[in-house]
Amino acid sequence: MIGAYIMILASPGTVNGIVKELRKIEQIENISVITGEYDIVVRVTVENMQKLADITDMINIVNGVSKTHTHVIMREQRA
Amino acid sequence: MRKRYLFYLLLFTAAILDAITALFDARMMKIVSDPLAYADSFFIVGMLVCMLLGLFFSTGTKNRSIGSLVDPSFKRIRMIKKEELLYHILAGAGNAITTIAFFALFFSFTDPSSVLPFYQVVLLYLLFIEAFSEKNAPTIAEIEASVAVVFGAIMMSMTEGIPETSALIIVFLIMNPAYALFTLYQRKLKSMTFGGKSNDAINIRFWNVFFTMVFCLLFSLIISPESILLAFDVIPQNFSLIATATTLSTISYILFIRALGISSASIAQAVKSASLVLSLIFSLLMGQLAGIDSTFALLKFMGIILVVLGIVDISFTEVRSFLFIRLKSGQDSLKLMQKIWAIKGIDSVALVSGEYDIIARIRTRTLGKGYETIITKINSMSEVSTTHWESVLKEWETV
């Protein structure tokens, strides 16, 4: 399995609408609306890189998403 | 559903079920008047109820059982695994001792809303144990809120004056240390994973009832064998009453164990103490508190305020954040990842490719505390080039 953090930059006033759409995507484990440079960070777990590319594409076509930045997880420790 | 909402939904439902179960316990103790015999009958019937519930939860389609609606990790009732055995034995012993002690308290207090609060003293024990054993040790704010809940609970238990010394010994030296043992080992079991899936609450409860029954019968055999005979006398006459109490208690514990997988034992226990307020309302409605002295009524009222304040404090003071870290070139990123992971308050740390090198998720009670304990530590690490802190405003998580 491959994990990744995808950071999303949203157009003004579109965050709630984007979150609503993101919640429909099964592979998204966590959605965080954050302050700062980006507006939303999502954590995804997928089977392979192709699936990750598909998810990124799905996010990019959501109305209001102006930019995404994907960080693939190479190693991780979780509580 | 947002993870936070699910956590409170589980615990508030468990609290309602607990408050109702206490009413049944009080009624049964009037009939049986032998704590060992009632504990035996409770868990013998409880085992039967668990088997039926287990069968019900195991039905469904090949990929999705009914039980998976309660805990997505559940597939069907299964045999116990070797690595779980010791924890189940310890949790079963803890539950048997705490239940017998809890029933024994009904001799001193007939009103359930006066007995139930004594369970909350366990918070002090849990906080003490977690301070040494958990990665995310309780913060000052959590300790403050939990202490408010404990003292509020003790004030709520006062109906007729200061409890007798024997009752206090049962509460502080027997019931709550055993309950702490029971809660912590259940959490340990919930955090175990098998084949990439976390352990499920339904199997944990099923096996807990089994081991608790074994220990109750064992204690009865050693202390007073006639209690077992009395239990078998009591069951046929009061089967529906005991079965209702055990069903409610089993569902309450399944929800509680599921919540234990989301947060620490002390926080889950503090939120579950909402059962005290409900229990008091039930006692009032049933006339158990008719004619109570005005001083004790005032104490109970103050106790409610403290318990509610404690729960509100714990529920609304958590701050979650992300920390994005860039490293200086040529540094050992794996070693740094381990150093960051060792810091208290770090929920997860990931080594990533892309704009940043490490992404850490943080859980603190205040931003100031996060700054003091986390950012200053990370910034002082020689391998770190820059850090970027972003606070989470809202969060949704699949649980």
Cβ–Cβ < 8 Å for B293, B354: no
**Average pLDDT of every residue of chain B:** 85
Residue B42 has a pLDDT of 93
Residue B1 has a pLDDT of 57
Residue with tokens 């997505």: B72
pLDDT in tens, B166-180: 777 888 889 889 999
Q: What is the 3-state secondary structure of A14-66?
A: CHHHHHHHHCCCCCEEEEEEECCCCCEEEEEEECCHHHHHHHHHHHHCCCCEE
What would the mean pLDDT of B150-162 be, rounded to a whole number?
A: 77
Statement: residue B56 has pLDDT above 70: yes
Residue B255 has a pLDDT of 93
Are B135 and B82 part of one and the same domain?
Answer: yes
* Full residue range of the structural domain in which residue B342 is found: 321-391
Are B10 and B132 part of one and the same domain?
Answer: yes
Domain boundaries of chain A, sorted by first residue? 2-72
| Residue B151 pLDDT class (50, 70, 90 cuts) | confident
Are B299 and B357 part of one and the same domain?
Answer: no
Distances (CA, A) of B219 to B30, B48, B216: 22, 20, 5
pLDDT in tens, A17-47: 999 999 888 889 889 999 988 999 999 999 8
Closest to B198 in 3D by CA, of B207, B206, B189, B185? B189
Report the percentage of chain B scoring pLDDT > 70: 92
What would the mean pLDDT of B242-260 be, rounded to a whole number?
A: 92
Verify whether the Cβ–Cβ distance B351 to A74 is below 8 Å.
Answer: yes
pLDDT-wise least confident of B65-69, B239-243, B367-371:
B367-371
| Residue B343 pLDDT class (50, 70, 90 cuts) | confident
Q: Considering only CB atoms, which residues of chain B are within 8 Å of chain A?
A: 135-136, 320, 322, 334, 337-338, 341, 347-356, 359, 388-398
We report the CATH number of the domain holding residue B340 as: 3.30.70.920
For residue B399, is it within any domain?
A: no
Cβ–Cβ < 8 Å for B180, B119: no
| Residue B89 pLDDT class (50, 70, 90 cuts) | very high
For residue B397, is it within any domain?
A: no
Verify whether the Cβ–Cβ distance B350 to A75 is below 8 Å.
Answer: yes
Structural domains in chain B (count)? 2
Phi, psi of A67 (to 5 degrees): -160, 145
For residue B398, is it within any domain?
A: no
Are B369 and B292 part of one and the same domain?
Answer: no
Are B55 and B199 part of one and the same domain?
Answer: yes
pLDDT-wise least confident of B18-27, B44-53, B89-98, B279-288:
B279-288
Q: How far apart are CA A71 and CA A47, in angstroms?
A: 16
Are B354 and B240 part of one and the same domain?
Answer: no
The domain boundary residue, chosen from B285, B316, B347: B316
Interface of A with B in 11-70 (CB under 8 A): 19, 23, 28-38, 41, 69-70
Q: Which residues of B touch A42 (CB under 8 A)?
A: none
| Residue B126 pLDDT class (50, 70, 90 cuts) | confident
Are B344 and B305 part of one and the same domain?
Answer: no
Statement: residue A6 has pLDDT above 60: yes
Interface test with B, best of A31, A45, A75, A77 (most B CBs within 10 A): A77
Residue A79 has a pLDDT of 66
Residue B277 has a pLDDT of 82
| Residue B229 pLDDT class (50, 70, 90 cuts) | very high
For residue B36, is it within any domain?
A: yes
Statement: residue B134 has pLDDT above 70: no
| Residue B26 pLDDT class (50, 70, 90 cuts) | confident
Residue A10 has a pLDDT of 95
Verify whether the Cβ–Cβ distance A74 to B347 is below 8 Å.
Answer: no
Residue B162 has a pLDDT of 67
What would the mean pLDDT of B10-14 be, rounded to a whole number?
A: 90
Are B9 and B134 part of one and the same domain?
Answer: yes
DSSP class of A13:
T
For residue B252, is it within any domain?
A: yes
For residue B157, is it within any domain?
A: yes
What is the DSSP pairing of strand A28-34 with strand B193-194?
unpaired
Are B238 and B365 part of one and the same domain?
Answer: no
What would the mean pLDDT of B340-367 be, rounded to a whole number?
A: 87
Residue B114 has a pLDDT of 74
Domain boundaries A2-72, corresponding CATH code: 3.30.70.920
Residue B45 has a pLDDT of 95
Are B73 and B197 part of one and the same domain?
Answer: yes
Are B378 and B238 part of one and the same domain?
Answer: no
For residue B76, is it within any domain?
A: yes
Asked whether the ipTM of the predicted complex exceeds the cut of 0.90, the reply is yes
Are B296 and B332 part of one and the same domain?
Answer: no
Q: Which residues of A touch B398 (CB under 8 A)?
A: 28-30
